[in-house]
Amino acid sequence: MRRVAALLLLLPLLTGCWGRLELADLALVIALGVDLADNGLYEFTFGIAGPPVSHMKNAPQGDAGIPSRIVVTQRGRSFAGVLREIELRLPRRINLTHTLVVFIGERLAEHGLGDALDFVLRAPEFRLQGLIVMVRGGPVRTLLETEPLMENLQTKALTEIAKAHIGLEVRLWEFFSARATTYRAPLLPVIELMESPDTGAKGQRYAARLGGAAVLRGDRVALYLDAREVRAIKWLRGRGRDGVITVPCGDEPGPESVSFRVVQAGHRVRLHRGGKPAFAVALRGRLRVTEMQCPRPLVEPQVHEQLVQRAEAELRDLMEQVIAKLQEAGVDPVFFGEHVRALRPGLWRTVGEERWGETWREVPVTVSVDLRLHTTGLMRNPLRS
């Protein structure tokens, strides 16, 4: 009798899969787009991974005719209502745990996000390690329907580009952390839809390109940065490595130039003591010569130093230009206000979190650059020397 009672007591401890859902019963969402439609409605676009052949009844031999992705668009006033409408159209249950990227439409970003992304923070299925980007030049659906290069899914291709740190990379948790404050401006990497008949599948009108970035003030776009200006943002965010700096060989711009790749990059922001905020930004890095069209030998110290100094001047001018542009717009996406809040709490209370945008416009920022030539590659001098 005791043995029976012990077995009965152990039964609740046994594990089980009472609420399991088979993979064949799920529609895995890998990309989600949100944009503003007419009449105050939101347009939600779901990029769903296509079903594998093994999970399809009466599947043809090979993968002919089986889509690698399914794109579904629905308009509505709320995400919950739209999700229910789409589930009524699909034979599988939508699963959001594999969402790699959340796309924001250009119209929504410029009119104001409001609470359009509230569902991302509330739904436990979303992983905040996913990426968030903005789409310019067309709707999100057009982006998801384009054929990428070297990948089956456009979302996967864009994710791999971001992971390679070639462009700007912003995670969902970073974006929402910035939106939770009044002094940090959220950043949105921008994906541009370009008309390019030479890229992608035959007959495809658009190709996707990871371009610049959008800086938000509150919940809407305050200014855009191009791909060149994003390089300065990456330096200030500690991700300046693998950038390219091209400078002319002579004193004036001309057809001959030398290109350097940044193999090591670092930065330091110093907050000066005093009654008002003032910063000194120091950039340092090591360069590798990737291309040289100058008929001048690099073994000569004068030539070496002159070209590196031009690279330093190019980076310094770019940094000062971008900082001035951010200050003119009154937005701070690169944590200058965070330095004041963390290091000088008394000064921060005097400035005021709500007034940092206006204070930031007048803050003096000096930039210094120290670059060193690490290697010239497999040869020292150009062929013509």
Per DSSP, which regions of 249-278 are E strands?
257-271
Neighbours of 365 (CB within 10 A): 18
Helix (H, G, I), strand (E, B) or coil at 120: helix
CA 186 to CA 214: how far, in whole Å? 8
- How do the pLDDT tens digits run along the chain, 385 residues long? 778 777 777 777 766 666 666 777 788 898 999 999 988 899 999 998 877 544 455 544 445 455 667 889 999 999 999 999 998 888 888 889 989 899 999 999 999 998 899 999 998 889 899 999 999 988 888 888 887 766 666 777 777 776 666 778 899 999 999 999 999 999 999 998 887 655 555 556 677 888 899 999 989 999 999 999 999 999 999 888 888 999 988 776 667 889 999 999 999 999 998 889 999 999 999 999 998 888 777 778 888 889 999 999 999 999 999 999 999 999 999 999 999 999 999 999 999 889 999 999 999 999 999 999 988 887 777 766 5
CA 373 to CA 351: how far, in whole Å? 41
For 73-111, give one letter per residue: b (16+ CB within 10 A) or e: bbebeebeebbeebeeeeebebbbeebbbbbbbbebbee
CA 240 to CA 316: how far, in whole Å? 13
Query: What pLDDT, on the 0 to 100 scale, is given for residue 150?
Result: 61
Cα dist. 131→148, 190, 296 in Å?
A: 18, 12, 45
Give the pairing of strands 279-292 and 131-136: unpaired
Cα dist. 97→115, 194, 265 in Å?
A: 21, 30, 35
Closest CA to 279 of 242, 230, 228, 326: 326
Query: What pLDDT, on the 0 to 100 scale, is given for residue 7?
Result: 79
Cα dist. 55→28, 50, 156, 261 in Å?
A: 13, 10, 22, 47
CA 158 to CA 210: how far, in whole Å? 8
Domains defined for the chain, CATH in brackets: 23-50+68-225 (no CATH), 234-385 (3.30.300.210)
State phi, psi for 54 to the nearest 5 degrees.
-65, -20
Give the pairing of strands 101-105 and 365-375: unpaired
Neighbours of 128 (CB within 10 A): 14
